[in-house]
Chains A and B, each alone.
Chain A
Amino acid sequence: MTLALDKPRSPRRPAARRGNFELASWLFMRISGLALIILVLGHLLIMNILDGGVHRINFAFVAGRWSSPFWQFWDLSMLWLAEIHGGNGLRTVINDYARKDATRFWLKIMLYVSMVLILALGSYVIFTFDATIPAN
């Protein structure tokens, strides 16, 4: 029984020369995941569980939190890390399940457009938040 290999003695393997983007992506998922455990579980605990949870959230509550640079920084880090972590996860899922190249291509275009939209909109809202905006 022989194992069929294409060019078994080839000195270079083309597949190994594609750079290490997937390694960087793999490492990013682990590092950002560790940070997101603190950021997201802390966010969910405060917003959904402690002190009445979701029932006390309104515009005034948001204004109170974003008056502090600490929570602005918390939310901005969480936005960027979660969006890129989730987007990269969905990129992997699309790569795994899309059968046609065209499907894979367009799904990823939609994903990347949505990521840019969410990151831009979310950052804009945090940076330009105005507690004195008119009520209506």
Chain B
Amino acid sequence: MSDSASATEKVAARGSRRTGTLYRGDPGMWSWVAHRITGVLTFFFLFAHVLDTALVRVSPNAYDEVIETYKTPIVNLIEVGLVGAVLYHALNGLRVLLVDFWSKGPRLQKPMLWTILGIWVVVMVPGAYFMLERTVRELFGGN
């Protein structure tokens, strides 16, 4: 067995004693995974969004017709997801900046993760309310 393979085995053995045989990752790793996923999704949305906005150069009616789909219940719900994804990406990006440029950043990366998740919830609860209020009222309240 090569040196690196035996070293890997030693590290794996040390890890498995504490957490079982499956590597489940540190919260820092999951914050990175979520940063990638929210970033890629937002980039794809940006592509579609520039195309739909470009319809203002075709005609007001063409634009208004497509914008109406943004006001339908299912797309409205997806917009809440979009805002949630962008807000997470922004807050975690700020955390990355602090880890990179603030002397205490690396040591505080985990408390900063819990902090941004707290801010995310505090902003998303009223945000989702304002975004969905009219849709929910029209779906269940008659007008």
Residues of A within 8 A of B (CB): 1, 30, 33-34, 36-37, 40-41, 44, 48-50, 52-55, 57-60, 62, 79, 82-83, 86-87, 89-90, 93, 114, 118, 121-122, 124-125, 128-130, 133-136
Contacts and interface: CB of A to CB of B under 8 A. Distances in A.
A37 B90 contact: yes
Contacts of B3: 1
B131 A53 contact: yes
Q: Is the interface of B mostly helix, strand, loop or mixed?
A: helix
Contacts of B30: none
B63 A58 contact: yes
Contact of A89 (B39, B54, B59, B70): B39
Contacts of A34: 94, 97
B43 interface: yes
B93 A37 contact: yes
Interface of B: 3, 36, 39-40, 42-43, 46-47, 50-51, 53-54, 56-57, 59-61, 63-64, 67, 70-71, 76, 79, 82-83, 86-87, 90, 93-94, 96-97, 100-101, 127, 130-131, 134
Contacts of A59: 56, 60-61, 63-64
B25 to A, nearest CB: 16
A79 B50 CA distance: 8
B59 A30 contact: no
Contact of A118 (B47, B83, B90, B131): B47
A92 B22 CA distance: 27
A49 B82 CA distance: 12
Query: Which of B3, B60, B67 gathers the greatest number of chain A CB atoms within 10 Å?
Result: B60
Contacts of A133: 56-57, 59-60
A40 B90 contact: yes
A29 to B, nearest CB: 8
Given A86-B46, A121-B50, A93 B40 contact: yes
B86 A41 contact: yes
A20 B97 CA distance: 20
A38 B84 CA distance: 16
A90 B42 CA distance: 11
Closest A-B pairs by Cβ, 6 of them: A86-B43, A59-B60, A122-B50, A33-B93, A37-B90, A49-B130
